[in-house]
């Protein structure tokens, strides 16, 4: 009887210890490297993961990278919903250099692929005024914003309900593509924050970035993939457009 009682008490103690233990941290996401030179690191950010660390338990790109690069900082950010090219400074001097380059608008071109709701989206430039308001961006007031839709083609398997667009981002406002395209009735497919009722996985990928480097070189960074897991792939027309754009950038800095 004493042995059984001791066993029961040990079992209860183990259960209580398990209940009181803090939750285990989520494993860091796998971040794939696209390019590295000096203090500049370019990675492929997975869609659905925050760029920055929001809390001790939350997944983020920067938390994962700081396991290898303790001083890693972000000179720019991508929305949680977005994926693709993300630049990381692993040294303070590189961070200062890229912050200055962004301020002087020496980064670019910045090209995105977006899957937008609707049967058609016109090509051409869009201009608007934007400001952040809570978790969303508001179009109509604030700072000037500009983008250009270079290509609009039916999304494979979603003809009539969605198009894949190649978008040149001329400014970098908060949620710029999401808010500006939603304002004209073509939100990113599956982007519930901006009015899409679709259950499809959103596709918004930073596909190409022309990146000047502190060493004096110029690098054209390209995303590893355009569609996140669970999302139908883009068509050959989009890929061909991106190839042509990247080749044009390689001929010389813009």
With 70 as the cut, is the pLDDT of residue 242 above it? yes
Average pLDDT over residues 73-97: 97
Q: Where does the pLDDT of residue 249 fall: very low under 50, low under 70, confident under 90, or very high at 90 and above? A: confident
Write down the pLDDT at residue 254.
Answer: 44
Average pLDDT over residues 216-229: 96
Q: Where do we find the tokens 């991508």?
A: 78
With 70 as the cut, is the pLDDT of residue 152 above it? yes
Write down the pLDDT at residue 160.
Answer: 87
Write down the pLDDT at residue 214.
Answer: 97
Average pLDDT over residues 15-32: 59
Q: What percent of the chain stands above pLDDT 70?
A: 85
Q: Where do we find the tokens 């890693």?
A: 72
Average pLDDT over residues 150-174: 96
Residues linked to residue 145 through DSSP beta bridges, in sequence order: 128
Who's near 34: CB < 8 A, 6+ residues apart? 42, 43, 44, 85, 221, 222, 223, 224
Residues 43 and 61: beta-carbon distance below 8 Å: yes
Q: Where does the pLDDT of residue 7 fall: very low under 50, low under 70, confident under 90, or very high at 90 and above? A: low
DSSP, res 1: -
Residues 98 and 89: beta-carbon distance below 8 Å: yes
Q: Where does the pLDDT of residue 56 fall: very low under 50, low under 70, confident under 90, or very high at 90 and above? A: low
Coil, strand or helix at 57: coil
Q: What is the CA radius of gyration of the chain?
A: 22
Q: Where do we find the tokens 């020496």?
A: 106
Average pLDDT over residues 89-95: 98
Across the chain, mean pLDDT equals: 90
- Look up the CATH number of domain 32-250: 3.30.2350.10
With 70 as the cut, is the pLDDT of residue 172 above it? yes
Give the separation between CA 62 and CA 53, rounded to whole angstroms: 6
pLDDT digits (tens, 9 = 90+) for 194-220: 999 999 999 999 999 999 999 999 999
Dihedral angle sign, alpha carbons of residues 150, 36, 89, 58:
positive
Domain ranges of the chain: 32-250
Q: Where do we find the tokens 């949680």?
A: 80
For residue 206, the surrounding DSSP H or E stretch is strand 204-212
Give the separation between CA 222 and CA 70, rounded to whole angstroms: 25
With 90 as the cut, is the pLDDT of residue 22 above it? no
Give the separation between CA 25 and CA 34, rounded to whole angstroms: 27
Q: Looking at per-residue confidence, does 19 or 165 come out higher? A: 165
Give the separation between CA 251 and CA 248, rounded to whole angstroms: 5
Q: Looking at per-residue confidence, does 18 or 242 come out higher? A: 242
Average pLDDT over residues 223-250: 94
Q: Where does the pLDDT of residue 27 fall: very low under 50, low under 70, confident under 90, or very high at 90 and above? A: low
């Amino acid at each position: 009887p004493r042995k059984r009682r001791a066993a029961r008490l040990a079992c209860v103690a183990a259960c209580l210890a398990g209940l009181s233990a803090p939750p285990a941290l989520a494993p860091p996401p796998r971040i794939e490297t696209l390019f590295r030179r000096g203090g500049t690191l370019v990675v492929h950010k997975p869609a659905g993961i925050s760029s920055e660390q929001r809390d001790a338990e939350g997944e983020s790109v920067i938390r994962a990278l700081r396991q290898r690069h303790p001083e890693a900082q972000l000179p720019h950010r991508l929305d949680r919903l977005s994926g693709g090219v993300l630049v990381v400074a692993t040294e303070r001097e590189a961070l200062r250099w890229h912050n200055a380059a962004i301020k002087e608008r020496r980064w670019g071109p910045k090209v995105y692929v977006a899957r937008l709701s609707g049967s058609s989206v016109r090509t051409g430039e869009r201009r608007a005024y934007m400001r952040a308001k809570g978790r969303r961006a508001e179009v109509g007031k604030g700072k000037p914003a500009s983008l250009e839709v270079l290509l609009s083609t039916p999304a494979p398997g979603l003809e009539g309900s969605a198009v894949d667009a190649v978008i040149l981002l001329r400014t970098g406002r908060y949620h710029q593509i999401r808010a500006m395209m939603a304002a004209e009735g073509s939100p990113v497919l599956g982007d519930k924050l901006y009015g899409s009722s679709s259950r499809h996985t959103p596709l918004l990928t930073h596909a190409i970035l022309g990146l000047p480097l502190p060493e004096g070189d110029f690098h054209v960074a390209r995303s590893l993939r355009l569609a996140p897991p669970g999302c139908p792939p883009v068509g050959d027309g989009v890929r061909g457009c991106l190839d042509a754009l990247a080749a044009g950038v390689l001929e010389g800095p813009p």
